[in-house]
Amino acid sequence: MRKTTKISSRPLLLLFLSILVVAGVLVGFGVPLVSSEGMIIRARLIEGELPTGPEDAAWAKVSPMTLPLSGQIITRPVWPEPSARALTVRSLHNGTEIAFLLEWQDNTKNDRLTPGTFRDGVAIGLPLGDAPSFFCMGQLDHYINIWHWKADWQSDIDRRAAKTSEKPRDGVRTFEVIPRRVSSVEDLIGGGFSTLTTKEKQGRVQGQAAWKDGVWHVVMHRPLVSEELENEAKLIPGRMQTVSFAVWNGENKERNGQKAVAPWFQLRAPTMPASRSDPSSRKSTKPRSET
């Protein structure tokens, strides 16, 4: 006679109730519960050069996706009340490069670092391997490539460009020490909290931004083909890629782990049609000569 083993449903019930309690606490603190299931960010395929600035008309042809943002509550100091609650994402690629336009509401422009002040910023996180790692800073053996746009770095680049084109007044040119930046985006690698490392080679990821009417508009772009086998996220058209985001509001004293986050979403860049990606596959329209 076979014995039947009765599985108690009490542990499952307790687990379910615990999840409900945690969810209730988070909602009570005003932390939105973020779910990325079924949400796919589609990088639209276009011909020609990608827009490098947020005011390019090409962005208007891309359907935006609005992602909910929640507070970082995984590690101390937790940040359950970020000021940013939503991030609008658009993406384009042309077979050789990919670009993102990120937009969020921020009533104050914080693009200068002084004692006691903090900068605005936004970041894109892309896992280095096939499996997604921890969305905030990666984890051991599951590293993450982070593109961190910084408002003060953008200000340095813009002010230096303005100084270069500035004409002397009465033969006198004003002098200001402005850091020389190769990009407004810092290219980083993370393997968990407190492991963030700046990559030796910078400038592969470029950025350009504008703040207008209480909204930041930030463009980041990078070549699709990876130069480094281990320390650069692979972006392959046709393959589903996970991606996460983070936003900092300097006016709200947000910095480091004190930020708004959007956990893993799906990113998909369509493949190039054979007729466009491979010139040899194009059919000749030249008529054949008769013999």
Domain boundaries 32-272, corresponding CATH code: 2.60.40.1190
pLDDT digits (tens, 9 = 90+) for 176-215: 778 899 999 999 998 777 788 999 999 999 999 999 999 9
Please, are residues 249 and 84 in contact by the beta-carbon 8 Å criterion?
Answer: yes
Contacts of 180 (CB under 8 A, 6+ apart): 156, 160
- Which of the residue ranges 9-13, 60-64, 258-262 would you say has the lowest mean pLDDT? 9-13
Minimal CA–CA distance to 257: which of 134, 152, 155?
Answer: 134
Q: What is the mean pLDDT of the chain?
A: 81
At position 175, the amino acid (one-letter code) is F
- Which of the residue ranges 128-142, 146-160, 174-188 would you say has the lowest mean pLDDT? 128-142
CB count within 10 Å of CB 181 equals: 19
Please, are residues 188 and 144 in contact by the beta-carbon 8 Å criterion?
Answer: no
Model pLDDT, residue 131: 54
Contacts of 141 (CB under 8 A, 6+ apart): 191
At position 91, the amino acid (one-letter code) is S
Contacts of 178 (CB under 8 A, 6+ apart): 156, 159, 160, 163
Tell me the residue length of the chain.
Answer: 291
Instruction: List the beta bridge partners of residue 87.
Output: 67
Mean pLDDT of 233-242: 91
Model pLDDT, residue 77: 73
pLDDT digits (tens, 9 = 90+) for 244-285: 999 999 999 999 888 999 988 999 999 977 655 544 444 444
Residue 191, token pair as written in the block: 């393997």
pTM across the whole model: 0.78
User: How many helices and strands, by DSSP H and E, does the chain display?
Assistant: 3, 14
Please, are residues 221 and 205 in contact by the beta-carbon 8 Å criterion?
Answer: yes
Residue 216, token pair as written in the block: 């930041």
Q: Dihedrals φ, ψ of 87, to 5°?
A: -130, 125
At position 199, the amino acid (one-letter code) is K
Mean pLDDT of 226-238: 89
Please, are residues 266 and 39 in contact by the beta-carbon 8 Å criterion?
Answer: yes
Band (pLDDT 50/70/90 cuts) for residue 148 is very high
Residue 203, token pair as written in the block: 């400038």
**Cα(188)–Cα(232) distance, integer angstroms:** 9
Instruction: List the beta bridge partners of residue 94.
Output: none
